A and B are shown apart, each in its own frame.
Chain A
């Protein structure tokens, strides 16, 4: 399998639940990202990992907890979410943060559509 794969594609959870989103890439990339996509809003960067090290946390509430066990896998652990957290959560990867222009593009997964009830 190639590209960036996200599971599950859809998730409905209650505000007291704990769930995890999974992202896997088979592109040999070393940087991975979580983005939140809400209707009528720009993509919001949440977290960045480069060579398994978190390099950016864009003021994300602690109810979102990322984990990057290796360069191919990225998780987003969710607990006590709010209804306003309902959105499409996109994972992306790129070669790494420090390469030249040819590697600036991200490859996105298809996303997890999250609904918090």
Chain B
């Protein structure tokens, strides 16, 4: 299947700091999704992106669909303790219906 590389694998930051993470694929995608998974729960959709260059916000979260269509970025501004969790990217190309998921970025926010 498709390989999605997410980085960094984990982050430890102070409350109030901004966070940046990214996801890259070996092939072109038409849709990028960003999910957050809290401990003991399933992933929850944060942001969906549908065209190259698109920049979409959801509160303090902003995600971008990379111009090359092989990457996507997620930024969190002014982090708070409830931002703790694992953030997953997912992407889909123009063949088939399957979304491929990254391995996740684990975020820890230190109060």
**A 48-63 to B, binary, CB cutoff 8 A, 1 in contact else 0:** 1000000110000000
Give B residues with C-beta under 8 Å from A.
4, 31, 33, 35, 40-45, 48, 50, 88, 90, 92, 97-104
Verify if A21 is at the interface (C-beta below 8 Å from B).
no
Residues of A20-44 whose CB lies within 8 A of B = 40-43
Instruction: Give the segment of A11-19, A65-73, A76-84, A107-115 that binds chain B.
Output: A107-115
Q: State which of B33, B100, B103 has its C-beta within 8 Å of the C-beta of A105.
A: B33
Asked if A42 contacts B42 (CB within 8 A), the reply is: no
Cross-chain pair count, CB within 8 angstroms? 52
Given contacts A101-B31, A101-B50, contact A106 B99 (CB under 8 A): yes
How far is B35's CA from A39's CA once the two chains are assembled, in angstroms?
17
Interface residues in A, total, Cβ within 8 A: 22
Asked if A42 contacts B33 (CB within 8 A), the reply is: no
How far is B104's CA from A4's CA once the two chains are assembled, in angstroms?
22
How far apart are B86's CB and chain A's nearest CB, in angstroms?
10
Give A residues with C-beta under 8 Å from B.
4, 6, 40-43, 45, 48, 55-56, 90, 92, 97, 101, 104-111
The 25 listed contacts between A and B (C-beta, < 8 Å) are A4-B42, A6-B42, A42-B4, A42-B102, A42-B103, A42-B104, A43-B88, A43-B90, A43-B101, A45-B98, A48-B97, A48-B98, A55-B97, A90-B43, A97-B97, A101-B50, A104-B33, A104-B48, A105-B33, A105-B45, A105-B48, A106-B33, A106-B43, A106-B45, A110-B40
How far apart are A72's CB and chain B's nearest CB, in angstroms?
17
How far apart are B82's CB and chain A's nearest CB, in angstroms?
17
Q: State which of B31, B40, B104 has its C-beta within 8 Å of the C-beta of A104.
A: B31
How far is B92's CA from A108's CA once the two chains are assembled, in angstroms?
17
Given contacts A43-B88, A109-B42, A110-B42, contact A101 B101 (CB under 8 A): no
How far is B33's CA from A107's CA once the two chains are assembled, in angstroms?
12
How far apart are B97's CB and chain A's nearest CB, in angstroms?
5
